[in-house]
Every structure is written in C-alpha cells, then in structure tokens.
A = this chain, B = another copy of it.
C-alpha cells in the first residue's frame, strides 16, 4: 500500500466500482447445479464480461468468511488484518454520528426474547425502520452515570449506540449470542481498564429491556462490535482520487466516510443510485456504487429473490456503460450463498473492464466462468493496484 501510494499520479480517468453485496453463491441442493448468478438472465453483465478480464476475488484469505467491514476494506486496497474496524464504528459513521476519539460505539439489533430471556428472533421480524426510530428515541432517554448516550436507527431492526464520556474502553465482548435459542450474554471486559465500561453497558442493556417490555417483537436489544474511532489512511489522499460513495444502506456510507470518501446522499433504490452516479459523474473520478439486495436475499436464504436482484442490477448496466468510464469493476465484497443464509468464505466473481485490461475469453459473468478467467483466484487487496494501473494512474517503479 505504501509502494502504491508512492507510485500514484493524477489523471483524468474515471473509475467505477459496482459492488453487489454478497454476490457469490452456491447451487441449491438437489436442484440444477447452478448458483444464483448462474441462474440469472443477465445479458448486460455477460456482455461486459466479454470485454473484461475476470477472476475470483478472495476477500481475506482461504476459508475466511469476512464481515462487511473487512470485506470492503480489502476491495479498497486496505489490508483487512492490519486495519480492523469494529461494527459499532462502522454503524456510527453510517448514520452520520460524529464519533469522538474516546467515544465507544456499538451496533444494536432490536430482537425478540421469550420469558426466559432466550433470544427467539435476532431481528425482531425485521422491524420497520420507522418503529426502530421510535424505539431509539425511547432508549436515548436512559441516564447513565458518567456517560452520555446517543442512539440512532439504521435500516429495519438495526441501530447504533454511542457511549460518550471520559475513560471509556471498547475492549468488551458482545451481548449478542449470534444464534437464536441462546440467552443474551453479559458484556465482559477483555482488559481490566474496560471494567467500568462493561458495567455501564450492562446497566444500559438492563434498562433497555425494562423500557422495551411492552414492545414485542422488539422487546430487547443485542449489542455487538464495540469500537472506538478507527484511524484509517484516507482514500483520496492515498490514491490521489476524488471519490464518491453511492449507497442506500447506512453501513456502507459509514465505511466510505471512515475512509474519507465523499458520500452522495439521497438514494433509497438502485434507480436512485444510478441517477446520482449520472448526475455526479463529471465531478468525481472514483465511484463506489453499492447494491445491497443480493446480500439481503442471500441472508434470508431466498435463492429466487437473489436471482431477481441480480437481474434487476443487470438492467442498469447499460446506463453505466453509456457513461464510458475508463475502468469498470463489477464484483461483490464477499459471497452470501442462499443455501448458507450467511456470508461465506467462497471467492467472489470479479470483472474489470478497461481499454487496456488484456481481456480473457470469459463470456458469461458467473462463478464457474470467472474461475477460468485470467486473474484466477486472487486476493481482493490486489484490485486497487490493478484498477489504478488500468486507469493509467501509476507511474513506473524504479528506473
């Protein structure tokens, strides 16, 4: 990354990253031997693949299933092992909360517990965002000694809480048991200095449960990813780019903001996203366009809906191509096979179009076709150098 930064030069070239979240998949057991992407009718992506160089991008390493944070850091050329961002900090940035150096943020899931305190639904039936907003205001009324509480809604059942005060620590375990059928966990300090924060947080959880008693299915909160503000090298400075992030979901705006990207607001749908892209195409030279539906459908185990999401995305490809960017990348941050209902470790189909990409003979955009592409299976952190080179934005190394 330091080498890259030394070689970067300015240029007029335009780069677009179209990231279909959780794009990679697996076949349905007992059905045709086709993944979601292989089942989709996607003539535009296939045509784009034909002029591109293809491969399978590996977000972290063999066998490692990434969260959204590390998966996106890799895409943007940041070593995801070296630069670790807690979910809390991601979420805070995503909703536009200014996190201070000493504030500790955590991700909230509104969830359902039964009378024995056992988690029955980690997402409270995917609570409507409006209701989540209302409950967040309720929780913001909780008073803790020596810490201010700020609570904000994200999408659906998701929220974020910021603990603001002196001497707080993020060295805490989650209260979210990560699986249904298990009780909420006590938050524990993983180093002695965090003991006071742990006790504050546990008190916040108890008071939240008491306030939410009558709010079933959202009768509890689960906290995870306690995180102080991460200090990351800034994307635009690192790569001499004028970047713009276009994402409907707060989390992805969040990561863009942590990297210092300009976040273009005002989009809810993929249609909005492409309108924003077109409207701002002159004013930036790097665009991160994030498409969420592929991941949501995968997480819900809905193979057909994921197929449809891919087909919907395919419909927008001509608008992208018409803008004539110098470099186009289409890939995912990770795989989310419907059959696993979760992120997975599988490498992700990748294509990069540019005039100078030395395209391979991949003629469809799919896991099996991209596996035979010229890039093979390669680490996602290699994408940025490839993209900058194809945008003629890297000078020669050495004399």
Contacts and interface: CB of A to CB of B under 8 A. Distances in A.
A399 B87 contact: yes
A140 interface: no
A224 B399 CA distance: 9
Contact of A344 (B86, B356, B376, B388): B356
A399 B63 contact: no
A217 interface: no
Contacts of A382: 61-63
User: What is the interface residue range for chain A against chain B?
Assistant: 35 or more
A374 B374 contact: no
A76 B339 CA distance: 28
A355 B29 contact: yes
B376 A63 contact: no
B64 A394 contact: yes
Max count, chain B CB within 10 A of own CB: residue among A4, A337, A394, A396: A396
A110 B90 CA distance: 54
B26 A385 contact: no
A32 interface: no
A68 interface: yes
Contacts of A86: 399
Contacts of A345: 385-386, 389, 394
Interface of A: 3-4, 7, 26, 29, 35, 60-71, 80-81, 84-88, 90, 107, 178, 224-225, 337, 339-340, 342-346, 355-356, 358, 360-361, 367-368, 371, 374-378, 382, 384-390, 394-399
